Amino acid sequence: MPGTSLRPLFTAQQIQKRIQEIGAQIDSDYPDGSLYLVCILKGACFFMADLARAIEREVVIDFMGISSYGRGKTASGAVKLTKDLDTTVEGADILLVEDIVDTGVTLNYLMNVLELRKPRSIRIAALLDKPDRRVRPVKVSYVGFQIPDEFVVGFGLDYAEQYRNLRDICVLDEPPAA
Ligand code: IMP
Ligand code: MG
């Protein structure tokens, strides 16, 4: 994007190390049985692919699509389900896998939707957390990194669909206003 610059925040190596730690933590926290990983499209698919392989217990993977109106840096607050799970999750141990928790609107909505389906348990794993931005309460059980209120891209995270394939997580800096 013209005029913008990328400032590395976490390297690919730091991200992988943290994901291995979270995977081990998840393995030790859950009782025996299969874990139902739910990836929130699209940003979380890179995190989910690595997290699933950092977990040694049996996992099932599934996807949920969400559109939160607005394609730039801020969402409007309205959330719509664009793709639902493939199966029922009654009695399942669900782990919702998200790229970043910002205002909390998305995950607050999804938790409400999924709780109605009577899973045995439901927890959240998020690669990044921006706690300063929260407007809806969300309990995140596994966090990769807490970050300040800056807009980040890479490792799945986008700005207007760009930058998802960057290996590092970078802050997207705007040019100073003219
Ligand atoms: P929330 O509903 O405000 O918590 O927003 C969560 C969603 O907003 C994430 O899944 C991302 O798609 C997007 N988002 C929030 N902050 C960032 C960011 O810094 N970079 C890229 N996407 C972000
Ligand atoms: Mg997202």
- Give the integer Cα–Cα distance in Å for 102 and 133: 6
Does residue 77 surpass a pLDDT of 80? no
C-alpha closest to that of 53 among 89, 14, 15, 24: 24
pLDDT score recorded for residue 67 = 85
DSSP per residue, the chain: -TT-EEEEEE-HHHHHHHHHHHHHHHHHHSPSS-EEEEEEETTTHHHHHHHHHH--S-EEEEEEEEEES-SSS---S-EEEEE--SS--TT-EEEEEEEEESSSHHHHHHHHHHHTT--SEEEEEEEEE-GGG-SS----SEEEEE--S--EEBTTB-BTTBSTT-SSEEEEEPPPP-
pLDDT value for 68: 75
φ, ψ of residue 16 to 5 degrees: the values are -60, -40
Q: Which residue has the higher pLDDT, 25 or 173?
A: 25
> Residues of 113-152 as b/e, b for ≥16 C-beta within 10 angstroms?
ebeeeebeebbbbbbbbbeeeeeeebebbbbbbebeeebb
Ligand 1 atom nearest the C-alpha of 104 is 4
Residue 35: CB within 6 Å of ligand 1?
A: no
For ligand 1, is residue 25 a contact (CB within 6 Å)?
no
Average pLDDT over residues 95-103: 97
Ligand 2: centre distance to CA 5 (Å): 21
Q: What is the pLDDT of residues 8-50, one digit of tens each?
A: 999 999 999 999 999 999 999 998 899 999 999 999 999 999 9
Q: Which atom of ligand 1 is nearest to the CA of 151?
A: 19
- Decide if pLDDT at 103 tops 60: yes
Q: How far is CA 41 from the centre of its chain?
A: 9
- Amino acid of residue 111: M
Question: Which ligand is closest in space to the CA of residue 148?
Answer: 1
Residue nearest to ligand 1 atom 10, measured at CA: 100
Model pLDDT, residue 74: 60
Q: Give residue 3's pLDDT band: very low, low, confident or very high (50, 70, 90).
A: confident
> CB of 45 closer than 6 A to ligand 1?
no
Residue 76 predicted with pLDDT over 90? no
Task: Say if residue 55's pLDDT is above 70.
Answer: yes
Question: Is the C-beta atom of 154 inside 6 A of ligand 1?
Answer: no
Q: How far apart are CA 161 and CA 44, in angstroms?
A: 13
Does 70 score more than 80 pLDDT?
no
141-163 tens-digit pLDDT: 999 999 999 999 999 999 999 99
As a whole-number percent, the residues of the chain with pLDDT over 90 amount to 85
